């Protein structure tokens, strides 16, 4: 391994993804990556080198994220090998109203992140658990928190606010937007690969188990489909997406559901899983002949296209579109169906190019271009982490 390295961690509710980057090279080469799945029960630990060679692959049983980190720390030449390690970067989903840029984590910032746990109950708590466990395992090494909400700060007030009293806005009840690290990467990738539209008006669709869309103008976010929490906007794997607040009142008043049950319902039992009654996985739904599975796919496509139109209106026009993340990068059928719904905007899909993964998905005579571009949130975190760690040395 290179002499200077940094480790990036992305903690999910029951998983831990990680990547190791060489910090002595301007290009920040990826040296290792992997994941521990199904934390809290029997799961799988995988670590691979940059060339795809499998370094470790075995079933493991972990009680919590701290136990998962301990397993990684025991691996010879693993992601937590102390030799040359200069710091850690962390994906933190919600930064609230005060943390709009990456921060070096100390007791004050950690307390602020913990206080935001009710706004991101699936994501912030495991990130905090990893931060605390790593601080115990590697005392003295710096940690940098990078927030998915940060990229969206600076939206105009009409996009940033809800139609509620100003006092609540000043308390932090506002539209934050999420998947910002992904959108930051796509903005940079467009500048390198498609400069003709990078400074224009682009709608980006981050479509995965968690899904959102963003309006970029000149590479900056001006609006997003997600709002106060990561429940808003598009239907997702198990999350509802936009929902009339009256439905929540009805569940509480007519069915007697308490807050805990409503929260579990909205985060775990809705979205594609709830609508289809079959699965939260788009691949399973596309392969299913069940009527409700077909409806769930149609519903997802409809709302992606509908949101693209709304964001194009927010931009005052559109110069191109990008699909990214798991579904956006790997599902030609979903891309095709969305672009066919957006023919009125000027997209003419090249089906052969779409089937092969692009990156350009549209025909030469298409009025507007559409692209499939893989995202790399870990690289964005690594860039911010190195900059902040070097600033402390």
CA distance 283 to 237: 11
pLDDT by 10-residue block (mean), the chain, 393 residues? 82 88 87 90 90 90 90 88 90 91 93 90 90 89 94 94 96 94 96 94 96 96 95 95 96 96 95 96 96 98 98 97 96 98 97 96 97 96 92 58
One domain, residues 126 and 227: no
One domain, residues 252 and 365: yes
Q: Is residue 391 part of a domain?
A: no
User: Tokens standing for 391?
Assistant: 């600033």
Q: Is residue 383 part of a domain?
A: no
Give the domain CATH number at 90: 3.30.420.40
- How many domains does the chain divide into? 2
Q: Is residue 126 part of a domain?
A: yes
Q: Is residue 161 part of a domain?
A: no
Which residues share a beta bridge with 91?
Answer: 146
Which residues share a beta bridge with 9?
Answer: 18, 90
- How far is C-alpha 272 from the geometric centre of its chain's CA atoms? 18
CA angle 251, 234, 184 (to 5 degrees): 135
One domain, residues 218 and 329: yes
Specify the pLDDT at position 383: 94
317: left (phi over 0), alpha (psi -120 to 50) or beta: left
CA distance 65 to 74: 14
Cβ count within 10 A of residue 310: 15
One domain, residues 214 and 323: yes
Which residues share a beta bridge with 103?
Answer: 145
One domain, residues 89 and 23: yes
One domain, residues 211 and 327: yes
CA distance 390 to 295: 51
Q: Is residue 178 part of a domain?
A: no
CA distance 116 to 350: 44
One domain, residues 140 and 241: no
Q: Is residue 137 part of a domain?
A: yes
Q: Is residue 377 part of a domain?
A: no
Q: Is residue 325 part of a domain?
A: yes
One domain, residues 111 and 200: no
One domain, residues 92 and 224: no
**Which residues constitute the domain of residue 252?**
196-372
> What would the DSSP string read from start to end of 301-333?
HHHHHHHHHHHHHHHTS-SEEEEEHHHHHH-HH
- Evaluate whether 191 touches 311 at the Cβ level (below 8 Å): no
B/e letters for 84-99, b = 16+ CB within 10 Å, e = fewer, are ebbbbbbbbbbbbeeb
Specify the pLDDT at position 392: 57
- What residue has token string 């997802």? 300
Specify the pLDDT at position 76: 85
Out of 123, 147, 171, pick the residue that ends a domain. 147
One domain, residues 31 and 116: yes
One domain, residues 329 and 210: yes
One domain, residues 117 and 265: no
Phi and psi torsions of 31, nearest 5°? -100, -40
77: left (phi over 0), alpha (psi -120 to 50) or beta: left
Tell me which residues are annotated as active site: 148
């Amino acid at each position: 391994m290179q002499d200077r390295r940094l480790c990036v961690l992305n903690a999910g509710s029951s998983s831990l993804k990680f990547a190791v980057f060489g910090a002595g090279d301007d290009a920040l080469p990826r040296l290792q990556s992997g994941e521990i799945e199904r934390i809290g029960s029997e799961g799988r630990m995988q670590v691979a080198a940059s060339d795809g060679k499998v370094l470790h692959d075995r079933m493991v049983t972990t009680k919590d994220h701290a136990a998962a980190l301990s397993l990684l720390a025991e691996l010879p030449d693993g992601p937590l090998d102390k030799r040359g390690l200069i710091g850690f970067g962390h994906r933190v989903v919600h930064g609230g109203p005060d943390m709009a840029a990456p921060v070096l984590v100390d007791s004050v910032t950690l307390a602020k992140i913990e206080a935001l746990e009710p706004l991101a109950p699936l994501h912030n708590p495991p990130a905090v658990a990893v931060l605390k466990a790593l601080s115990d395992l590697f005392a003295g090494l710096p940690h940098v928190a990078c927030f998915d909400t940060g990229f969206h700060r600076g939206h105009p007030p009409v996009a940033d606010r809800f139609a509620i009293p100003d006092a609540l806005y000043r308390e932090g009840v506002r539209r934050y937007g999420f998947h910002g690290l992904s959108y930051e990467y796509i903005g940079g990738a467009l500048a390198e690969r498609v400069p003709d539209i990078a400074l224009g008006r682009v709608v980006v669709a981050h479509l995965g188990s968690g899904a959102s869309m963003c309006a970029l103008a000149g590479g900056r976010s001006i609006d997003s489909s997600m709002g106060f929490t990561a429940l808003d906007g598009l239907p997702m794997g198990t999350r509802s997406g936009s929902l009339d607040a009256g439905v929540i009142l009805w569940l509480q008043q007519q069915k007697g559901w308490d807050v805990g049950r409503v929260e579990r319902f909205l985060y775990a039992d809705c979205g594609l899983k709830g609508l289809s009654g079959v699965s939260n996985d788009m691949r399973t739904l596309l392969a299913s002949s069940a009527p409700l599975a077909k409806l769930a796919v149609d519903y997802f496509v409809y709302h992606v296209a509908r949101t693209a139109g709304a964001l194009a209106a927010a931009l005052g026009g559109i110069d191109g579109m990008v699909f990214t993340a798991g579904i956006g990068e790997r599902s030609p059928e979903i891309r095709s169906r969305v672009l066919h719904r957006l023919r009125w905007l000027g997209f003419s899909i090249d089906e052969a190019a779409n089937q092969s993964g692009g990156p350009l998905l549209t025909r030469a005579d298409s009025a507007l271009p559409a692209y499939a571009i893989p995202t790399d949130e870990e690289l964005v975190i690594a860039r911010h982490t190195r900059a902040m760690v070097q600033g402390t040395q």
